[in-house]
Amino acid sequence: MTQHIGELNPPVRLMLTPGPSSVDPRVYRALSMPLVGHLDPWFRGCMDETQILLRQIFQTENRITMPLSASGSGGIEASVLNVLEEGDDAIIAVNGIFSERMYEIATRASSKVTKVEAPYGKPVDAEDLRRAGRGKKIKMIGLAQGETSTGVLTKLDAFRKVADELGALLVVDTVASLAAVPLHVDRERIDICFSGSQKALSAPPGMSPITVSLVAEEVFRKRKTRVQSWYFDLTTAMNYWGKDRLYHHTPPISLIFALREAMRLVLEEGLEARWERHRVNQLALIAGLEAMGLKLLVEKPADRLPTVTAVIIPGGVDDVKVRNQLLDEFNIEIAGGFGSIKGKIWRVGLMGYCSQKPNVLLFLAALEKCLIDQGFQVGSGAGVGTAIRSYSQVEAATAVSR
């Protein structure tokens, strides 16, 4: 029996999730541009421009800098499997689901992996990694700068020092932080850094930007065995993104168009200005949430990731009902928790294009309505009013500094 399927017509949502984020209309226009062949001379020029933009956003001169045709999880896999061989020692700092995923992938490389953990809501202490690595020949230290599942930000300097002491490569997941949090790959001497297109870059999902230092390149060349994954073997994938543009696979051409435009918009705004925008909007969001009587999973302000705020769900409030009401009544999507904190937190994303003052104020007003409907005592207008005062304080301080 033939079933009629109508024309595709998705709803227009405000994506205040930890990814994907909403997309600038200019990026949608780039996504709709005509296809060309992946070996077309014009497209090769587009690839050059994509790499130039990506190097500026990563703040690096690394030769191997390119977007992998994969999600951020593909970036984890490429980073880990290109470094580790059977028997190698690695240490992974785990404080959430995605750093746990890096650990899981490392164990599948038949390497000897030590997991150093911190409770959800806290960064791992670099001193714990130092102790775990004593007396061992450590090849890799891995961590997430921004842990998407908990909203924790990890400062990188101490981990670079430990990696130097242990003679290890430093591999950093910036899926939830790139283009929203200060990052200088060359200055901070990160050996492999990867991200995702769908978060603070505000491009569609499906690409994982990655950059590889000369030190890491040399480690790749000295491998005794082939990389477990043919698809994610960077030495062959780079042949396509290298100067010869040798065929490796057919890339998602339209996604590259969109990523190129999204990165162009990042640099049009300016990295420092974009970092500051994310900081200011999260401060206002947090001020509003706390004024409504809500608490955060990440207690220390210095440990809070500007792109993802983890809000503890108050007793007597139904997690799913609130998220469904936000979606049905206000067209706003937020996310719940994973694993052991499922049903215990909401994750509110202020990423890239979504990190805007009107979105913060709209969300606070909408959340207040949902909480009131469930009987939670919220002072009328407390969240929005407090957030407005937070913005006013920043604006006043900026005016004085000028």
Tens digit of each residue's pLDDT (9 = 90 or more) over 191-235: 999 999 999 999 999 999 999 999 999 999 999 999 999 899 998
Check residue 304 and report its DSSP letter. Answer: B
Share of the chain above pLDDT 70, in %: 97
Looking at the chain, which residues constitute the CATH 3.90.1150.10 domain(s)? 271-401
For helices 234-241 and 214-221, the axis angle rounded to 10 degrees is 120
Paired strand residues for 142: 92, 171
CA nearest neighbour of 237 among 374, 61, 358, 82: 82
Q: Coil, helix or strand for 52?
A: helix
Give the mean pLDDT of the chain.
95
Four-CA torsion 346, 350, 356, 361, nearest 10 degrees: 10
**pLDDT at site 235:** 82
Q: Assess whether pLDDT exceeds 70 at residue 241.
A: yes
pLDDT, tens digit (0-9, with 9 covering 90-100), for 253-302: 999 999 999 999 999 999 999 999 999 999 999 999 999 999 999 999 99
Helix (H) / strand (E) element for 170: namely strand 169-173
Q: Considering the domain delimited by 271-401, tell me its CATH architecture.
A: Alpha-Beta Complex (3.90)
Q: Which residue has the tokens 């102790």?
A: 131
Strands 192-194 and 146-147: unpaired
Q: How confident is the model at residue 380 (pLDDT cuts 50, 70, 90)?
A: low
Q: 31-45, 170-184, 354-368: which range is least confident on average?
A: 31-45
Q: Coil, helix or strand for 251?
A: coil
Among the four given CATH numbers 3.40.640.10, 3.40.50.740, 3.30.210.10, 3.30.390.50, the one describing domain 25-267: 3.40.640.10
Q: How confident is the model at residue 239 (pLDDT cuts 50, 70, 90)?
A: confident
Q: What is the mean pLDDT of residues 234-242?
A: 77
**pLDDT at site 54:** 98
Strands 169-173 and 138-144: parallel
Looking at the chain, which residues constitute the CATH 3.40.640.10 domain(s)? 25-267
Distance CA 117, CA 125 (A): 9
Distance CA 113, CA 200 (A): 30
Distance CA 280, CA 90 (A): 37
Distances (CA, A) of 347 to 60, 298, 308, 328: 31, 11, 6, 18
**pLDDT at site 396:** 80
Q: Which residue has the tokens 């990506």?
A: 54
Q: How confident is the model at residue 248 (pLDDT cuts 50, 70, 90)?
A: confident
